[in-house]
Amino acid sequence: MELKIRKLEGDEMGFTLSDSNPAFANALRRAAMREVPVMAIDEVEFEVNDSAMYDEILAHRLALIPLSTPAKGYVLPGECGCREGRCPKCSVSLTLKREGPATALSGDLKSTDEEVVPVSGSIPIIKLERGQRLELTAIARLGFGKEHAKWQPGVVAYKYMPVFELNEKACDGCGACVKACPVNIIKLSKGKPKISDITLCTMCKGCAEACPPKAIRIGSDPTKFIFRIDSAGGMPAEQILLKAMGVLKGKLDEFSKQVKKL
């Protein structure tokens, strides 16, 4: 199995996984999206809410604000000795105080830990009219994406590596495939189509259908995968991948331990 990073820019990451199989690719994707814990607001106590929205709706909006999550330092509420999920080891408290006319923004949330803050300060929570007040305390905890989407660290997606097969003898170099390609990755070189970057291929088979002598076949390689990780912002994309691998390894270790017991 081989992993090659194609792109790594802040919240986005692209890599190819080769010499693998669909089961492993899917296990990796699921581990990354469902089992990598990140911080999200889990409980909100309202002191004052004069706004146009109900407490529940505001709590829901607050929960969806992505929070930056340090790689270490916090434990899951279930694994913490405090049992209540309110101690500084497993929770962070964020307070908000705002009076209208104003828009309460995510940047108005004051956190007890400067490492756990909203990834963007300009997310509007609620618009307050004159005289309306909003005062609340929110408690953020670690959690899993399998429990609620607010705890998903990001979006992980993969596709099979496309394969462009050309019957050199049948190809007459007419260039119909070049025009048919919606992502413009086919170029004619010495009268034959050449692919510039096969990872961009969407497997639409437009080139195969447009080819008059039917010289092109589009297939896929089920041992190679093109992955993309798009972080929600709370955790860098490469860290999501590393943590997902750790989760997967832990599960496999546990599995082999259980099998040995049999």
Partner 1 sequence: MRVIRCITCGKLLGDKYEEFEQRVKKGEEPKRVLDELGIKRYCCRSTVLTSIDLTEEIAKFKR
Which stretches of the chain bind partner 1, using CB under 8 A?
51-54, 61, 64-66, 106, 119-127, 129, 149, 152, 154-155, 230, 232-233
Q: Which is nearer to partner 1, 125 or 161 (CB)?
A: 125
Q: Could you tell me the smallest distance in angstroms from the CB atom of residue 107 to partner 1?
A: 10
Q: Which of 46, 36, 45, 96 is nearest to 71 (CA)?
A: 36
Handedness of CA 40, 45, 51, 53 (dihedral sign): positive
CA 238 – CA 11 distance, rounded (Å): 9
Q: Which is nearer to partner 1, 143 or 193 (CB)?
A: 143
Q: Could you tell me the smallest distance in angstroms from the CB atom of residue 48 to partner 1?
A: 13
Q: Which is nearer to partner 1, 64 or 188 (CB)?
A: 64
Q: Could you tell me the smallest distance in angstroms from the CB atom of residue 110 to partner 1?
A: 18
Q: Which residues contact 82 (CB under 8 A, 6 or more apart)?
A: 89, 90
Q: Could you tell me the smallest distance in angstroms from the CB atom of residue 143 to partner 1?
A: 14
Q: Which is nearer to partner 1, 49 or 91 (CB)?
A: 49
CA 196 – CA 200 distance, rounded (Å): 9
Q: Could you tell me the smallest distance in angstroms from the CB atom of residue 155 to partner 1?
A: 5
Q: Which is nearer to partner 1, 3 or 105 (CB)?
A: 105
Q: Could you tell me the smallest distance in angstroms from the CB atom of residue 159 to partner 1?
A: 14
Q: Could you tell me the smallest distance in angstroms from the CB atom of residue 21 to partner 1?
A: 26
Q: Which is nearer to partner 1, 72 or 130 (CB)?
A: 130
Token representation of residue 186: 């086919």
Q: Which is nearer to partner 1, 144 or 217 (CB)?
A: 144
